[in-house]
A = this chain, B = another copy of it.
Amino acid sequence: MSATTVAVDAIGGEGGLSVTLPAVLSSLEANSDLSILLVGPEQEIAHRIRDAYDRSRLRLVDAIQYVDMDEAPSAALRFKKKSSMRIAIDLVHAGEADACVSAGNTGALMAISKFVLKTLDGIHRPAICGTLPRAEGQVHMMDLGANIACSASLLFQFGVMASIMVRYLDGIENPSVGLLNIGIEEIKGNETVKEAAELFRSSTLHYKGFVEGDAIFTGDTDIIVCDGFSGNVALKTSEGLAQMLTKITREVFTKNAYAKIAGKVASPALQSIFEHIDHRRYNGAVLLGLQGAVIKSHGSADTIAFAHAIDVARRVVNTNLIGHIGEELSQLNFVAIAN
């Protein structure tokens, strides 16, 4: 067995096996230190890959049940104990895998992870920390949709955990943090963000103040902290705008003969723009606050995107991120302020 073992939920996402299987095989090929426990319908998977894999690094774990994308988290927790998602998380809990990756139902993934793995001391609600592109570099946002409403102290915890993550994954010693609001002046926003700002200001974090939505793409803080409702709205809004622009660009460059030629000439440039904002390169959000590494892939991820999520899992394990977060939180004695 090699250094890092990742359990992969093979049938949680919209693409199912036809996405996860090639992603797993390419990840294994790209990383010789990686082993994978692939959780899904064993017979079908075995039939698909036949003998063309390295049994010492890819093990199949049978599961035919899966969590539906629109299933209530409480129902998934109660009735889907044999699901691919649940078994992948169980493997992390049992110490057989160092991390797990799923493209399945976010709410269910969060609920099952919390139930099986438990939260870190002092953390009452884990959250999703994801990455988005900028013209130069990238930004990490937390929470992207796990917690609809967040107290000030929860928002502060997000900032602490995301700061540790960026330090270990990106090697930025003291990453800067902005707090999402609807204005940058101190008087703006609701009581919760104002209270959270106070907590950030009196902390040792590199807090830069309130930021507005445009700072996600044009700002300079390494991290943007927000409640899961706003975070999810921002994420989905930007996905929608990117989709719309892709559609318009395609239409404009096929409108007439001249436009088609222009499109061909401009193709390398256009390609590099689309690659830059390609969300697949940023796929793989980390559920922070758990006693274990759980990585959420976008539900509609393709092979490239899903392989990226596996890579995030690998880096989370290799940097011992979850261990570091646990240690640093215990020093901060969060219990007093958590709610």
Contacts and interface: CB of A to CB of B under 8 A. Distances in A.
B261 A265 contact: yes
A144 to B, nearest CB: 9
Nearest to A185: B70
Given A248-B273, A262-B269, A266-B266, A233 B236 contact: no
A240 interface: yes
A252 interface: yes
A117 B266 CA distance: 53
A262 B135 CA distance: 21
A148 interface: yes
B218 A245 contact: no
Given A234-B233, A234-B234, A240 B215 contact: yes
Interface stretch (A224-232, A286-294, A319-327): A224-232
Interface string A217-252: 111000000101110111111111111110111011
Given A245-B277, A252-B272, A265-B265, A213 B189 contact: no
A276 interface: yes
Nearest to A240: B214
B239 A213 contact: yes
A234 B213 contact: yes
A69 to B, nearest CB: 9
A49 interface: no
A299 B259 CA distance: 35
Contact of A244 (B218, B244, B248, B263): B218
Contacts of A252: 269, 272-273
B241 A242 contact: yes
Nearest to A219: B240
Contacts of A212: 232-233, 236
B72 A187 contact: yes
A134 B245 CA distance: 9
Contacts of A218: 240, 243-244, 247
Contacts of A190: 148-149, 229
Contact of A217 (B216, B244, B253): B244
Contacts of A219: 240
Residue among A134, A226, A232 with max Cβ neighbours from chain B (10 Å): A232
A38 to B, nearest CB: 28
A171 B230 CA distance: 32
Nearest to A215: B240
A166 to B, nearest CB: 20
A284 interface: no
A268 B236 CA distance: 30
Interface in A305-337: none
19 contacts: A72-B187, A135-B244, A145-B182, A149-B190, A180-B233, A182-B236, A213-B234, A213-B238, A214-B237, A218-B243, A233-B237, A241-B242, A245-B277, A248-B276, A249-B273, A259-B269, A262-B269, A266-B266, A266-B269
- The 6 nearest A-B residue pairs measured at CB: A213-B236, A214-B240, A213-B237, A266-B266, A217-B240, A182-B232
